[in-house]
Amino acid sequence: MPQASASQLPLQSAQLTWRLRDWIAGFALFASTAGIVLWQNAHVAVLWDLGYVLDNAARIAAGQMPYRDFPLVHAQLTFLIHAGIIRITGRVYFHHVLYVAAVGGIGSVVTWRLALHALQRRIAAAWTVALLLAAPLVAVGIYCVFPFPSYDCDCAFWVLVALWLMQRVALNSESEMRPSRELFRAFVAGVVLCVPLFFKQNMGLPFLMAAAGAVLFLLFARLFRREDAPAIGPGAPMLLVLLSGVVAALIVAALVLHSTAGIGNYIHWTIQFAAQRRLPGFTDTLGVYLYPSLAWMLPCAVVALAILRSSFGKRRWIQITAFVLLAAPFLFTLLSLLLYDDTDERGDTLLELWPLLLLLAAALALVNLVRAWRNLDLSALLPLVVLVAINGTMMSQQLWGSTYAIWPLLVLLLAEMLASLENFSMRATASRWFVPALAALISVTLVVCGGAYTASEDRLSYAQLPDGAAVHSEFPELAGMATPGPYLPEFDELLRFTHANIPSNDGLILIPGEDPFYFATGRMARFPVLLFDKTTDPYSPDEIAALVRSHNIRWLILKRDLQINENPTPNLEATLQELMGEFTLATHLRGYDVYRR
């Protein structure tokens, strides 16, 4: 039976109504992804990351104002969410685990529905292909690779939500809603486009600029549109309302910041200081596209597309040849599990697929610009928006370190590329097997290799995770936290000493600040900085010593047995030299030295 063309697909397919199989598939995706996140948290924890998020959330929950009362180089919403969890449910770590598991599960479902829409208008096997592409998110979903509370992961989730709302706006021409409800939906979409910016700057700002730029592009295209030209997307009123939602959200956010933390403080810490300490050079960012594997992967893809587009593209042997060429990078990634024993090499081989797919998606985005100009189709511009958000994320830690939260965005680009590939050849009816087979191979590759990548904890190799069973804390506040090694028992010993010997009103300072100390104890942080890392600590050693005196800090806790591999405090010796003249050793614990002023 020949495959239906895009024009032959039923109109109601674009509405993405839920049927029984959708509910079953959605529940399976949610439960499986959330289950992996829970499993991850049951056996591994990186105290460095947990301490930064949870301790800052705890001081916000206690009434301190970020950017005004203490420096914070990241946007605020993740910290506010976890502060809210603390205020509502108390200081129990497992409550935060439930939150990240739920976000991870919902993120996989939203990604699947977005991919389904990208495919459903253009190929008949859309439901199957979308589910195949979403299946790897069980292993590499938003919170699977990095399973701890994270602003990157939260930002990726809200990017997905914003894309889902933009997709609803793009369906305006097929909607049966009343005009007033359509306009309200467009306004809400504009508001939500701003939300990622307040989770993570380097991802949220490029995403917002790209999304707003896409809307402006369509409005500008309307000025040059011929009367007889087709118009697929929403009309000018909806686009203007969407932009008004963006403007309104930014104005409200600025007013709230001005009346609370101070807009000047916010700009200084999250933009000026953060860019100074964390923003990589342009050459380093472009370096993600210079890996040797591209020398053979990219030509394979280009040759495959060229022969599919040729006059011989309808011949079976040509299609098989093209399929093998497109499949080669994924087959090699699968074989890497057998070729390499080292988990780092296996993980690198998987991540080397990213530059290839991003370059192919960039080519597709340029083609879609032409289609959007001709048809005023907002959905055609969404891949470009996704691509910009991904490249903005790369500005954080470049390719290898930045991909852990944005695998769903890669899935969306894959869906767009496969949907376009369906009609790329000269005769689509001759290749009805092509896209589902390629989707199945991609799915198997990402499930198997992505599952191995997550299970190996390769992304967490910056911290020490010794072999052996996970160890739990004895403190109820840390219920749900577990990791191998001596780190939690040593932390428990510090907490017991603190409860017994350090008055609750005494100010103290922890160097380098690896542990979630204030979350576990409920004490009020009295020193401006909690984490003495070069990207979060703005003070020199002499300034730290002066602040210790002015804030009446009476105790210094120095952690000797760090879980993080590298020394995070570049001026540690100079800082200790400034402080040790005023402190004397009070006790020597297994992993800590405690000094009293």
DSSP string, 137-196: HHHHSTTTSS-S--HHHHHHHHHHHHHHHHHHHHTGGG--S-HHHHHHHHHHHHHHHTGG
Most confident range (mean pLDDT) of 87-96, 351-360, 377-386, 560-569 is 87-96
Calpha distance 230→176 (Å, rounded): 20
Q: What is the pLDDT of residue 17?
A: 74
> Which is more confidently placed, 597 or 316?
597
Q: What is the pLDDT of residue 568?
A: 86
Percentages of the chain per state (helix, strand, coil), in multiples of 5? 65, 5, 30
- In this prediction, residue 282 has a pLDDT band, given cuts at 50, 70 and 90, of low
Predicted confidence (pLDDT) at residue 231 exceeds the cutoff of 90: no
Does an H or E element contain 480, and which?
A: none
Does an H or E element contain 254, and which?
A: helix 236-259
Convert the pLDDT of each residue in 195-226 to its tens digit: 999 999 989 999 999 999 999 999 998 888 76
Calpha distance 306→300 (Å, rounded): 10
Contact 196, 392 (CB under 8 A): no
Q: What is the pLDDT of residue 12?
A: 37
Q: What is the pLDDT of residue 433?
A: 85
Predicted confidence (pLDDT) at residue 14 exceeds the cutoff of 50: no
- In this prediction, residue 230 has a pLDDT band, given cuts at 50, 70 and 90, of low
Calpha distance 139→453 (Å, rounded): 9
Convert the pLDDT of each residue in 239-253 to its tens digit: 999 999 999 999 999
The first and second tokens of residue 302, run together, are: 């280009």
Convert the pLDDT of each residue in 496-521 to its tens digit: 999 999 999 999 999 999 999 999 99
Q: What is the pLDDT of residue 4?
A: 40
Q: What value does the mean pLDDT take over residues 263-284? A: 82
Q: What is the pLDDT of residue 331?
A: 96
Q: What is the pLDDT of residue 344?
A: 86
Averaged confidence pLDDT in the chain = 89
- In this prediction, residue 172 has a pLDDT band, given cuts at 50, 70 and 90, of low
Lowest mean pLDDT among 199-203, 212-216, 473-477, 568-572: 568-572
Q: What value does the mean pLDDT take over residues 272-282? A: 77
Most confident range (mean pLDDT) of 141-150, 235-244, 278-287, 366-375 is 141-150
Q: For the purposes of burial, counting CB atoms within 10 Å of the CB of 115, is it exposed (0-12), middle (13-18) or buried (19 or more)? A: buried
Predicted confidence (pLDDT) at residue 385 exceeds the cutoff of 50: yes
Beta bridge partners of 66: 70
Q: What is the pLDDT of residue 83?
A: 98
Convert the pLDDT of each residue in 390-441 to its tens digit: 988 877 766 667 889 999 999 999 999 999 887 665 444 446 788 999 999 9
Q: What value does the mean pLDDT take over residues 254-260? A: 95
